[in-house]
Structure 1
Amino acid sequence: MSNDRPWLAQYPAGVPSQIDVDEYPSIVSVLDNAIANYRDRPAFSNLGRTLTYGEIDELSARFAAYLLGELKLKKGDRVAIMMPNCLQYPIATFGILRAGLTVVNTNPMYTARELRHQLADSGASAILVLDNFGSVVQEVLADTQVKQVITTGLGDMLGFPKGAIVNFVLKHVKKMVPDYRIAGAIRFKDALDLGGKHTLQPIDIQSGDIAFLQYTGGTTGVSKGAMLTHRNLVANMQQAAAWIGTNVRMGEEVIITALPLYHIFALTANGLVFMKFGGLNHMITNPRDMPGFVKELKKVPFTAITGVNTLFNGLLNTPGFEEVDFSRLHLTLGGGMAVQRSVADRWKKLTGTTLVEAYGLTETSPAACINPMDLADYNGAIGLPIPSTDACIKDEDGNLVPTGEVGELCIKGPQVMKGYWNRPEETAQVMDSEGWLHTGDMARMDEKGFFYIVDRKKDMILVSGFNVYPNEVEDVIAMMPGVLEVAAVGVADDKSGEAVKVVIVKKDPSLTEEQVKTHARANLTGYKQPRVVEFRTELPKTNVGKILRRELRD
């Protein structure tokens, strides 16, 4: 089935079937190219301060020189970063990569238990942490191999007096910076000064070198580091750029980066793809502050935005969002979780731009399928396999299933990870002998080559032997105007083995259980209808806004 690639016939005009993976030998060469072409153009902007490509060049070179010259780190050593979107993030990331080292992206909201595991598992030699999370690092340091802690305040790159004011307010007014003391820690700005005393020698970076250890799979127990090489990320950047680049204006794009750059979606789609385009990443530090986020959007003439369904839904439900100027917006990309039709329809109506759904995994750097950018309207599919990517649907025994039937989605392409860090047996569980990555997502392909996710293997609800896919139930309930957010999970049931339970956050306070059940009866067959309806004030979510069904099940 993968040989005839029916999806190629559906490719939009100008999108190639293959990309040149070897145009750039590393992420560093992509950066060098952007610096050469767009030196004086804005690259990253946050909290009112903008850095040009030239400034990113200079600052990241200093950080690289610090890591090599002062810390004497050796090629392949790991350096962890623990911070939300702020100017220090791109400086540090590109600095680490330019030094021939590996970035370990760390979720700043991690508990001590989660951070301890990730630092110990990755064997990180150093960590750069925002002051707000320093106390967590202090707690776990003794159980790790970290030799140097580099600390920074959110305002540190904002210039005087603004930076000092931001740092003061966070610590003393908002009380968001718990006290911590780490012996021998150095400030980020001091590290940059020290780096400035060294000359950065050219480092030989191979395409197969590990650029990022991107941790994933905390939902299945202990999180594992996906080894993403320079080639993996360059390939995915080339694939996504080829896909979305047909209507891009080089050097003029402004993308809203509200998802954290430590998450693979924003890292590649915003950080790398728009760097290749010479664009500006406008970083949002705290997108959960929706009124603040909308205020920011009113100031920025943005051309593109990426996000997850909860983010788009949140914006649509925030007063003032309808006053934002969408005249330059030509690209809205949704991924990370299923986009709901009701959200996509409202987005299109308000902004005039189609919310294009994409699909990917940490293990695929991340993009594997994207819908055509010239899609007129939401279609419920995750799209077509992107250039140089193969996809197929296999059954439990590894055989291809007929078109239209449900099985496990498998992906093959240059963006597929090298494997899990120090976990050969876990790697073997997801990567078969023919090089297919088994995604754990249940999907089907139609005759045109569009793929549709029906659900995660492990989220599937089994009611009297019938498979119920939570996404479908959630989509139906989300159509109700009184529903703000919904998640569907399976609960144990004496008669049917499992029954469907929905957990709802109300938009209309008067919404009742009976109304929900009546609506479900009208739209779902008997076994798919929720037996239990629970109302809550909020749903548990990951830091990127993905709903944690697992927590609702537990």
Structure 2
Amino acid sequence: MFKDTAFGPTFTEKTTQADGSVLLKLKQPLAEFPEKLTQKLIECAKKEPNTLFLMRRNPADGNWKGVTYAETLEKVRAIAQYLLNLHFSEDETIVILSENSIEHALLALAAVHIGIPYSPISPPYSLVSNDFGKLKHCLEVMTPKVIFAQNGNTYAQALSLAKRLFPEAKIVTVEETHEIHFAELLTAVPTEAVETAYSNVNEDTVAKVLFTSGSTGLPKGVINTQRMWCANLQQITQVFPFMASEPPVFVDWLPWNHTFGGNHNFGLTLYNGGTLYMDEGKPTPKGIETTVQNLRGISPTAYFNVPKGFEMLIPYFEKEPELRQTFFKNLHILFYAGASLAQPVWNRLEELALETIGQKVPIITGLGCTESGPSAMFASWHGAYSGLLGVPVAGMSVKLVPDGDKTEARYKAPNVTPGYWRNPEATANAFDEEGYYKTGDAVKFVDENNPDKGLVFDGRIAEDFKLSTGTWVNVGVLKAKVLTAGSPIVQDVVLAGLDRDYIGAILFLNPDACRKLAALEESVANDIAFQHESVQKFIDEMLARLQAQATGSATLVAKAVIAVEPPSIDLGEITDKGSLNQRAVLKYRADLVEKLYG
């Protein structure tokens, strides 16, 4: 019934330590991996020089335009020489403010090639923010000598701020150029200095810094070394060996300022000599049309998305048999991350594949974080289900540490960060006495007696809270139930109830789904759609179903309120990858909390 996709072995060994913690490892050893990432670029340019590496639609005519591996290496060496001519000091770096683009990739690879740390900053920090607080912080932490944005006008305010902070920094843009046009970087003629700089790069050299907003405070810069990135790409390839035997084809929108898009998807393309088609769509009402248009013409070998993205694709797959055929025909896996995939969405994807190609396509996820570059474990087998995280990747030691009535997963491996950029205090607090990174993720075994069946997600240690009765509420698990029951109307949820008598829910609704349910025009305001009687009835029925399934106060959502205003990135209510910050929402939506308990 399932497509015959090749996966790596999943046999584990489990050891209980004297302190009661458990170590879980994969029996398969980690194979050798390159010392530095651009070894793969050199290798691909030599073996398959004419293979397309990166493709992006030309804004002028909409046609795909891109670079081969040979062209990429040539341009990377030229840019590397230009950068060397600027004579970076040890403290100076490169900062990229804008979205995915070919120029973004070329500059990033040039920096990685010669050992200059770079950081892709979340575009919303420049475009959505009102106070630029997070952008200012990231710039000050990075001390850039070169600042890149694709479009000088679009990023004008952010570039102006950057120039005020760092007057000597070089501003490089591609469109609407005000200082240095990107084409100037390509005119440099590579000298022996490029090869010398490349030879000095080693596995401990910092490749990039990825900022993660976390649950409190300002963003922290996660150091990504060459070892960390290359090790994880080898680990992932061992989980999915079909990527090594068949060069992958990806159609991908996930942003490179985030580890899923930038390390995992971009990295796997390069590591396995594949082709990445940059999808400038997103899982939004307008953006999904762009994604669908791209998928009508390209058949991916693996497809990555967040749960919301998969959910939004389903109506198009149901209406367009040709789109379905193109999408599923070469597909080995569907891969989701960032949140739990609602079981109804999971089931429908399997049904659509079965209707189209006569087989189900494996749906895969795992667990990881920016600090593990990103992948720490995978549920890489047929017949997985939502919430199943699987087993560790090769070379990864997962320590399972009891924490109250939960168990925290901690990581030690070559793909784990050495710490946070210019933040020794955060680094010291992130690791335990044995050098394991403390994730804050809670997990538990599917079967204590058979670790090969893997681990399941059990929420976040810090998110859980106690009711006034002393009963613990498992936020992650309960949140997943609410989202499954509320799909597609409920887009996200924050649970309240610390020291209260019952659990309350702040619901963030999908305005387009609400308008569709209520048969309203697209122009109707969100708040009117949210208040429509059909939407209110849906939420009442959803709560009734959840309450009927509850086994006690820890799983019973007694009341719910609707958040009319979308989450604010400036207030820290939403991270750059789109997930809600529970603590910030509860802090800044005190009026809604009062409605739940007043």
| Smaller-chain TM-score bracket | 0.7 to 0.9
Between the two proteins, the alignment pairs up a number of residues equal to 509
Give the letter aligned to residue 80 of structure 2.
Answer: A
Superposed CA offset, 1:219-264 (max 9, x none): 321111111110011110110011111x336453201222112211
CA distance change for structure 1 residues 497 and 380 in 2, over 3 Å: closer, same or farther?
closer
Identity, % of aligned pairs?
20
**Counterpart residue type for residue 466 of structure 1:** T
1:147 to 2:169 alignment: yes
> Structure 1 stretch 137-146 or stretch 235-244: which is displaced more?
137-146
In the TM superposition, what is the alpha-carbon distance from 1:439 to its structure 2 partner? 0.3
Q: Secondary structure at the match of 1:383?
A: strand
Q: Read off the aligned partner of 1:468 and give its amino acid letter.
A: V
For 1:96, the equivalent position in structure 2 comes to 111
Distance 1:340 1:417, change over 3 A: same
Partner of 2:541: 515
Q: How does 1:317-336 map to 2 (within 5 A)?
A: 317-318=315-316, 320=319, 323-324=323-324, 325=326, 326-336=328-338
2:68 to 23, 35, 52: 52
Residue in 2 that maps onto 1:244: 240
- 1:51 maps to a residue whose letter is V
Q: Is the 8 A contact 2:340 2:480 kept in 1?
A: no
Q: Distance in 1 between matches of 2:334 and 2:188?
A: 41
With 408-417 and 128-137 compared, the bigger mean Cα shift is at 128-137
Q: Is 2:569 the counterpart of 1:531?
A: no
**Shift of residue 436, structure 1, vs aligned partner:** 0.6
Contact 2:483 2:493 in 1 (8 A): no
**Equivalent position amino acid for 1:72 in 2:** H
Match of 2:471 in 1: 466
Q: Which amino acid aligns with 2:228?
A: N
Measured in 2, the distance between the counterparts of 1:98 and 1:135 equals 30
Report the alpha carbon displacement of residue 414 of structure 1 after superposing the two structures with TM: 0.8
TM-score between the two structures when normalised by the length of structure 1? 0.84
Choose the corresponding residue for 2:50, options 31, 35, 40.
Answer: 40
Structure 2 CA distance for partners of 1:384 and 1:253, relative to 1, 3 Å? same
- The 5 Å alignment of 1:373-522 reads 374-396=381-403, 406-446=406-446, 447=448, 448-449=450-451, 450-464=454-468, 465-480=470-485, 483-491=488-496, 495-496=500-501, 499-505=504-510, 506-507=513-514, 508-509=517-518, 510-511=534-535, 512=537, 513-522=539-548
Deviation (angstroms), 1:482: 5.9
DSSP 3-state at the match of 2:50? coil
Q: Is this contact kept in 2: 1:290–1:318, CA < 8 A?
A: no
**Of 7, 10, 15, the match for 1:3:** 15
- Report the residue type matching 1:361 in the other structure: C
User: In 2 relative to 1, CA 310–145 (structure 1 residues): closer, same or farther, beyond 3 Å?
Assistant: farther
Q: Render the CA deviation track for 1:443-486: whole Å, top value 9, x for unaligned.
A: 22342331222212232243232222333233323334763334
* Corresponding residue number in structure 2 for 1:138: 160
The Cα offsets for residues 338-391 of structure 1, whole Å up to 9 and x where unpaired, read as 33323222222223322211211111111001112x322425211111100111
In 2 relative to 1, CA 124–503 (structure 1 residues): closer, same or farther, beyond 3 Å?
A: same
Query: Which one of the candidate residues 115, 118, 128 is aligned to 2:148?
Result: 128
Aligned counterpart in structure 1 of residue 377 of structure 2, from 344, 369, 380: 369
Is 2:102 aligned against 1:87? yes
Q: Which residue identity lines up with residue 382 of structure 2 in the other structure?
A: L
Following TM superposition, the consecutive aligned residue runs of length 4 or more in structure 1 with deviations greater than 4 angstroms are 4-8, 195-199, 317-322, 492-495, 536-539
Bigger Cα displacement from structure 2, 26-35 vs 464-473: 464-473
For the pair 1:66 / 2:100, whether they are aligned, the reply is no
Is this contact kept in 2: 1:212–1:228, CA < 8 A?
yes
CA offsets, 1:252-292, max 9 Å, x none?
32012221122111222211222121110111123240011
Q: Which residue identity is paired with 2:266?
A: G
The separation in 2 between residues aligned to 1:292 and 1:538, in whole angstroms, is 26
Q: Name 2:263's counterpart in structure 1.
A: 268
| Unaligned stretches of 5+ residues in structure 2 | 1-12, 17-21, 58-63, 354-359, 519-533, 568-573, 589-598
Return the alpha-carbon distance in structure 2 between the equivalents of residues 331 and 538 of structure 1. Answer: 36
**Alignment match, 2:593:** none
Q: Is the 8 A contact 2:37 2:226 kept in 1?
A: yes
Structure 1 range deviating more: 127-136 or 474-483: 474-483
Letter in 1 for 2:340: A
Question: Secondary structure in 2 aligned to 1:231?
Answer: helix
Shift of 1:514: 2.1
